[in-house]
Amino acid sequence: MGSASSGNAGAVGASLGYDLASGALVSVTTVLTDSIGSISCIVTHLVLMRKYRIYHDAVWPEFRSKSRPIRYRYRTRRDASEQASRGVRMAGKVTIQDVARAAGVSPMTVSHVINAHPHVKDSTRERVLHAIDKLDYRVNVAARNLRTGRTGTIGLAVPEVDRPYFGQLAAEIITAAARRGFRVVVEQTGASRETELDALVLSRNRMYDGLILSTVGLGPADTELLRVDYPVVILGERIFEGPVDHVAMPNVEGASAATRHLIEQGARRIVMLDGAANDDVNMSSLRFQGYRQALADAGIAFDGGLLVELDEFTMQSGAAAVHDLVTRGIPFDAIFCVTDTVAIGVLRGLASEGIRVPDEVMVIGFDNIRESEFTVPSLSSVDPDHTTMAEKAVSLLMNRIERGSGASREEYVSGFHVVKRESTSRIAPA
Q: Can you give the CATH number for the domain in which 237 is found?
A: 3.40.50.2300
- Do 193 and 217 reside in the same domain of the chain? yes
User: Which residue, among 373, 397, 359, 80, has the nearest Cα to 213 in the 3D structure?
Assistant: 397
- Do 69 and 130 reside in the same domain of the chain? no
Q: Are 242 and 255 spatial neighbours (Cβ–Cβ below 8 Å)?
A: no
Structural domain contains residue 420: no
pLDDT at position 353 is 97
Q: Can you give the C-alpha Rg of the chain in angstroms?
A: 35
In what order do the strands lie in the sheet containing 211-214? 183-188, 153-158, 211-214, 232-235, 245-248, 411-413
Structural domain contains residue 391: yes
pLDDT at position 408 is 78
Q: Are 162 and 190 spatial neighbours (Cβ–Cβ below 8 Å)?
A: no
Q: How many domains does the chain have?
A: 4
- Do 218 and 168 reside in the same domain of the chain? yes
Q: What is the pTM of this model?
A: 0.66
Orientation of helix 107-114 relative to helix 96-103, angle to 10°:
100
Q: Are 76 and 85 spatial neighbours (Cβ–Cβ below 8 Å)?
A: no
Q: Is 258 exposed, middle or buried (0-12, 13-18, 19+ CB in 10 A)?
A: buried
Domain boundary among 59, 74, 89: 74
What range does the domain containing 65 cover? 2-74
- Do 157 and 237 reside in the same domain of the chain? yes
- Do 197 and 95 reside in the same domain of the chain? no
Q: What is the DSSP letter of 205?
A: T
Structural domain contains residue 421: no
| Distance separating alpha carbons of residues 116 and 130, to the nearest angstrom | 15
Structural domain contains residue 145: no
- Do 66 and 90 reside in the same domain of the chain? no
How many residues would you count in the chain?
430
Structural domain contains residue 63: yes
Q: Identify any residues that bridge with 187 across adjacent strands, giving them in sequence order.
A: 157
Structural domain contains residue 423: no
- Do 257 and 243 reside in the same domain of the chain? no
Q: Which amino acid is at 48?
A: L
- Do 227 and 333 reside in the same domain of the chain? no
Structural domain contains residue 424: no
pLDDT at position 16 is 40
- For 297-307, write each residue's pLDDT tens digit: 999 999 999 99
- Do 258 and 275 reside in the same domain of the chain? yes
- Do 275 and 375 reside in the same domain of the chain? yes
- Do 346 and 401 reside in the same domain of the chain? no
Domain boundary among 74, 107, 131: 74
Containing 334, the helix (H) or strand (E) segment is strand 334-337
- Do 228 and 208 reside in the same domain of the chain? yes
Q: Are 212 and 154 spatial neighbours (Cβ–Cβ below 8 Å)?
A: yes
Structural domain contains residue 426: no
CA angle 163, 166, 172 (to 5 degrees): 140
Q: Can you give the CATH number for the domain in which 104 is found?
A: 1.10.260.40
Domain boundary among 46, 74, 102: 74
Cα–Cα separations (whole angstroms), residue 61 to 65, 67, 313? 8, 12, 76
Q: What stretches in the chain show pLDDT beneath 70? A: 1-92, 115-118, 139-149, 238-241, 405-407, 427-430
Q: Are 410 and 245 spatial neighbours (Cβ–Cβ below 8 Å)?
A: yes
